[in-house]
């Protein structure tokens, strides 16, 4: 995602998502260092959804949840422990992705004739920190969505396929035929958080909407996890 910004900078069809064009002036700004990183948040979110959904639902598929409950009878403690462990894993993915994106930006900037003078300023460092936090929040939102699907469906294949189908295809279609759909669709809010907000949807609105969606689906999934049988 980051390399395309620089390798296709002179391409008439654009160098960013959906044919948009990000100029040298924008990339040379203090926050230009993180544009590629924030643009990859959607892919990182899909990875998070798949990991969280698979690691949750496979406990039913393989019957290992029953063994875990023998050692720890509290289902909520197991659920919280899995959430924390997967969140730490996702944090590592975000940090590595951010480091790679920044390294690629510095490596390709001279080739694209993009100035890097402002990339070492305090504003650039602040932008890197803010973007990393926002991308991590977005990834965790995707992950919780996948984890909830894993608990509801109790099947890795079903939860991953339905989650990816909804986020990549259904929301895309709804956003095309319904102009205001992006203000209400969960995936759009998750992505907008990573971008730090947009001209159409503010950052605070996306954070609030994301929180509401995740609270509702998490309560429903946790309630079923606590009461349902441990087998699939």
DSSP 3-state percent helix, strand, coil across the chain (nearest 5):
80, 0, 20
* Residue 110 within any structural domain of the chain: no
Q: Residue 163 belongs to what domain range?
A: 40-96+120-227
The Cα–Cα gap between 184 and 200 comes to 12
**Mean pLDDT by groups of 10 residues along the chain of 232 residues:** 85 72 86 88 92 90 84 88 92 94 92 88 92 94 92 90 90 82 87 86 91 90 81 60
Sign of the Cα torsion 177, 215, 148, 36 reads positive
Q: Residue 2 class from Cβ within 10 Å (0-12 exposed, 13-18 middle, 19+ buried)?
A: buried
* Residue 113 within any structural domain of the chain: no
Asked whether the beta carbons of 94 and 51 are under 8 A apart, the reply is no
* Residue 108 within any structural domain of the chain: no
Would you say the pTM of this structure is higher than 0.85?
yes
* Residue 24 within any structural domain of the chain: no
Indicate the number of domains in the chain: 1
pLDDT given at position 231: 62
pLDDT given at position 224: 84
In 3D space, the residue among 98, 108, 104 whose CA is nearest the CA of residue 129 turns out to be: 98
pLDDT given at position 149: 92
Residues in CB range of 113: below 8 A, 6 or more apart: 24
The Cα–Cα gap between 122 and 127 comes to 9
Neighbours of 210 (CB within 10 A): 22
Measured between alpha carbons, how far is residue 1 from residues 4, 217, 228 in Å?
6, 31, 42
Retrieve residue 184's tokens.
Answer: 């209400």
Neighbours of 16 (CB within 10 A): 17
* Residue 12 within any structural domain of the chain: no
* Residue 185 within any structural domain of the chain: yes
pLDDT given at position 100: 94
* Residue 138 within any structural domain of the chain: yes
pLDDT given at position 158: 92
Retrieve residue 157's tokens.
Answer: 């294949």
Three-state secondary-structure class, residue 138: helix
* Residue 115 within any structural domain of the chain: no
The Cα–Cα gap between 13 and 10 comes to 9
């Amino acid at each position: 995602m980051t390399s395309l910004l620089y390798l296709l900078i002179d391409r008439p069809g654009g160098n960013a998502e959906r044919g948009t064009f990000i100029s040298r002036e924008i990339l040379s700004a203090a926050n230009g260092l993180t544009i590629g990183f924030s643009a990859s948040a959607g892919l990182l979110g899909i990875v998070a959804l798949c990991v969280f959904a698979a690691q949750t639902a496979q406990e039913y598929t393989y019957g290992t949840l029953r063994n875990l409950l023998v050692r720890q009878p509290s289902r909520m403690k197991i659920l919280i422990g899995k959430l924390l462990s997967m969140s730490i894993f996702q944090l590592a993915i975000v940090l590595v992705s951010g480091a790679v994106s920044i390294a690629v930006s510095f490596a390709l900037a001279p080739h694209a004739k993009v100035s890097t003078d402002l990339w070492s300023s305090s504003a650039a460092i602040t932008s890197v920190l803010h973007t990393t936090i926002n991308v991590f929040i977005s990834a965790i939102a995707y992950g919780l969505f996948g984890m909830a699907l894993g608990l509801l469906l109790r099947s890795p294949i079903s939860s991953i396929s339905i989650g990816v189908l909804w986020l990549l295809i259904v929301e895309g279609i709804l956003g095309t035929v319904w102009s205001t759909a992006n203000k209400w669709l969960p995936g759009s809010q998750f992505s907008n958080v990573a971008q730090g907000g947009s001209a159409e949807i503010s950052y605070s609105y996306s954070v609030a909407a994301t929180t509401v969606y995740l609270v509702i689906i998490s309560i429903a999934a946790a309630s079923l996890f606590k009461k349902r049988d441990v087998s699939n």
